[in-house]
Amino acid sequence: MKRLIIALMSSVGLVCLGVGSAYSADDRIQVIKDRGELMVCHAEALPWGAKDPKTGDWVGTDIEAARHLAGIMGVEYKAVDSQWGTLIPSLETNKCDIVMSPMFRTAERAMRVLFSNPSGYETQGTAVHMDSDAQSHADLDKEGMVIAVGSGTADEAFALRFFKKAEVKALVSDKLSTYFLEVATKRADAVLTDSSSLRNFIKQNPGMNLRIIDDAPLNSQGYAYAVLPGEYHFVNFINVWLETIEQQGLKDKWYEMITQE
């Protein structure tokens, strides 16, 4: 009996050690500093981040934020190309240390990642071709209407819930322009994405002949950066940093710089 008790206690001890090690990593900051590089996943959204067609470099407010964050950590910044549908898988497979795109804080995503405090708040909206008769979101939710969205995005998930009759057409692409082109070429009746991207893209591309549906904004919520589950030290550092750049007025400075270029 005594040997059995000792064996059981040893087994319990090993299990506890295993559980402890699974939750004790929380070492992403040290990993980044040892590597000397902060790897950041980005997906296209305006004005947060997009590839400059002339240079191929990422530009945007989140790019400036990522550079600043890397500087605070004393390491180099490395941009990692991604798409909205692959941001979380890229994080989970350690292709990057953090996702720095305006990712909506949904419950589904929170089961897979650890979100920072909101870095901002946003709504969603729709845009149609200038020739369209649609004047409201209700006008779009009809049989035969096609709504273009990015595959694997919060836009797709929301559109599938919101539009009961229209077809939701999910497109796989790392280019924001792909979704708008569907409407410009009349392969879709509308595009749904965040309101800032709608405004900025249409302003920058008047030749596509698109207009925003003048209706109440949809689905207001916070967006945030994301790290792997368990990285509480890292996310706490990010939250403190977010407060600091807000207080120093850096977020407004980056926005003005990017939107005036």
CATH of 123-220, one of 1.10.8.60, 3.40.1190.20, 3.40.190.10, 3.40.50.2300: 3.40.190.10
Long-range pairs, 141-148, Cβ under 8 A, ≥24: 141/165, 141/166, 142/166, 145/189, 145/190, 146/182, 146/187, 146/188, 146/189, 146/190, 147/188, 147/189, 147/190, 147/191, 147/192, 148/179, 148/180, 148/182, 148/183, 148/187, 148/188, 148/190, 148/191, 148/192
* pTM summary value: 0.78
Instruction: Summarize pLDDT for 106-151 with one digit per residue, the tens.
Output: 999 999 999 999 999 999 999 999 999 999 999 999 999 999 999 9
Q: What is the dihedral of CA 103, 105, 110, 113, to 10 degrees?
A: 30
In this prediction, residue 194 has a pLDDT band, given cuts at 50, 70 and 90, of very high
pLDDT of the residue at 53: 87
Instruction: Summarize pLDDT for 52-84 with one digit per residue, the tens.
Output: 989 999 999 999 999 999 999 999 999 999 999
- Architecture per CATH, 26-120+222-259: 3-Layer(aba) Sandwich (3.40)
Instruction: Summarize pLDDT for 207-240 with one digit per residue, the tens.
Output: 999 999 998 889 999 999 999 999 999 999 999 9
Q: Do the Cβ atoms of 160 and 193 come closer than 8 Å?
A: no
Q: Do the Cβ atoms of 136 and 126 come closer than 8 Å?
A: no
* Residues forming CATH 3.40.190.10 domain(s) in the chain: 26-120+222-259, 123-220
* 149 or 152, higher pLDDT: 149
How confident is the model over 176-192, as a mean pLDDT?
96
Closest CA to 116 of 27, 227, 229: 227
How confident is the model over 144-166, as a mean pLDDT?
95
Question: What is the overall mean pLDDT for the chain?
Answer: 90
pLDDT of the residue at 3: 52
